[in-house]
Chain A
Amino acid sequence: MKQPQPGFVATPTGPASAMVFIAVLALPSTCRDRYRDEFRAELCCLPVGRQILEAAGLLAGTVALRHALKEEDMSTSPEPARHLTCRIGRHHYLFIDDENPEDRRIHHLECRDCGKVKDPGPDYQPTDGTWLAKGSLGGW
Chain B
Amino acid sequence: MAAGPKPRMTLSTQAVLRALLEDPTVDRYGLEVSAATGLPSGTLHPILARLEHLGWVESDWETIDPMKEGRPRRRYYRLTADGLASARMAMAEVRAERSRIAGRYRPAGRTPLGEAT
Binding site for B on A (CB under 8 A): 3-11, 34-35, 37-42, 44-46, 54, 57-62, 64-65, 67-69, 71-72, 75
Contact = CB atoms under 8 A, between A and B. Distances in A.
Given A9-B67, A37-B72, A41-B73, A61 B43 contact: yes
A46 B72 CA distance: 13
A3 B71 CA distance: 11
Main SS at interface, chain A:
helix
A67 B43 CA distance: 12
Contacts, number: 86
Contacts of B73: 37, 41
A38 B67 CA distance: 17
Interface stretch (B44-52, B100-108, B109-117): B44-52
17 contacts: A4-B70, A5-B70, A9-B67, A9-B70, A35-B45, A37-B75, A38-B75, A41-B29, A41-B74, A41-B75, A42-B29, A42-B31, A44-B72, A45-B71, A57-B41, A58-B45, A64-B42
